[in-house]
A and B are shown apart, each in its own frame.
Chain A
Amino acid sequence: KAGVTQTPRYLIKTRGQQVTLSCSPISGHRSVSWYQQTPGQGLQFLFEYFSETQRNKGNFPGRFSGRQFSNSRSEMNVSTLELGDSALYLCASRRAGLLNNEQFFGPGTRLTVL
């Protein structure tokens, strides 16, 4: 079974631009979560989608948004990029269910903002 895939793996943008990152979950997984990883702040939860609906949201500005498609693939968008948005963005998927909270992570997208 294929793991979580993220595209692109590396991205370089300039301040003020916007960016879209993509995540394909493990087949059968309906929940997708996004995390931002930086040396200073560590791993922080961005948001989680289930059945095309945002179920949970972290403490990030409105410039960060996401969506999920009917095939469970998810995208996250960051508008008006700032230098501080440079980070590794991790996507995680899980098979939804109250008793199963194991998340499987993708390799991440390394975003550099110049």
Chain B
Amino acid sequence: AQTVTQSQPEMSVQEAETVTLSCTYDTSENNYYLFWYKQPPSRQMILVIRQEAYKQQNATENRFSVNFQKAAKSFSLKISDSQLGDTAMYFCAFGVSSGDKLTFGTGTRLAVRP
């Protein structure tokens, strides 16, 4: 069974600053995907970024980037130039290539201060 751990229940960052959210996972699978999802107060879950385990290069999407350390089973999300609209719950999630079940962490509530 897979587990996903997010050790930071809440974080706060000043607008325009950079923040890093942590995530670790445990699995015996070799092929898998990792995701960061954002859930704003409106509740719609939105995919922020994804990483395939077989890719060594860290994924980036505009202001969002990950630091994927496969050996350490670590998958952190860096948000650069934080904006007020980044205020949300962020969930780290794990998915196996051949299936649809996602295992989620407990989430990190991020507040961006003006």
* Contact sample, A vs B, 28 pairs, CB 8 Å cutoff: A35-B104, A42-B105, A42-B106, A42-B107, A43-B104, A44-B104, A45-B101, A45-B102, A45-B103, A48-B100, A48-B101, A55-B99, A56-B99, A56-B100, A90-B45, A94-B100, A98-B98, A99-B97, A102-B35, A104-B47, A105-B37, A105-B44, A105-B46, A106-B44, A107-B42, A107-B43, A107-B44, A108-B44
Q: How many of A's residues come within 8 Å of B, CB to CB? A: 26
A112 to chain B, nearest CB (A): 15
- 13 further A-B contacts with Cβ under 8 Å, apart from A99-B97, A105-B46, are A33-B100, A44-B104, A45-B101, A48-B101, A56-B101, A101-B95, A101-B97, A103-B47, A103-B95, A103-B100, A103-B102, A105-B37, A106-B44
Residue of B nearest to A46 (CB): B101
In the assembled complex, the Cα of A5 lies from the Cα of B75 at a distance in Å of 30
In the assembled complex, the Cα of A98 lies from the Cα of B97 at a distance in Å of 6
For B33, the chain A residues whose CB sits under 8 A away are 101
Residue of B nearest to A90 (CB): B45
A43 to chain B, nearest CB (A): 4
Chain A to chain B: the 5 pairs with minimum beta-carbon distance, closest first: A105-B45, A43-B104, A48-B100, A101-B95, A101-B33
For B43, the chain A residues whose CB sits under 8 A away are 88, 107-108
For B37, the chain A residues whose CB sits under 8 A away are 105
Where chain A touches its partner, the secondary structure class is strand
CB within 8 Å: A-B pair count = 58
Interface residues of B (CB under 8 A from A): 33, 35, 37, 42-47, 50, 91, 95, 97-107
In the assembled complex, the Cα of A26 lies from the Cα of B35 at a distance in Å of 20
Residue of A nearest to B106 (CB): A42
Find out whether the CB atom of A33 lies under 8 angstroms from the CB atom of B97.
Answer: no
A58 to chain B, nearest CB (A): 7
Residue of A nearest to B6 (CB): A42
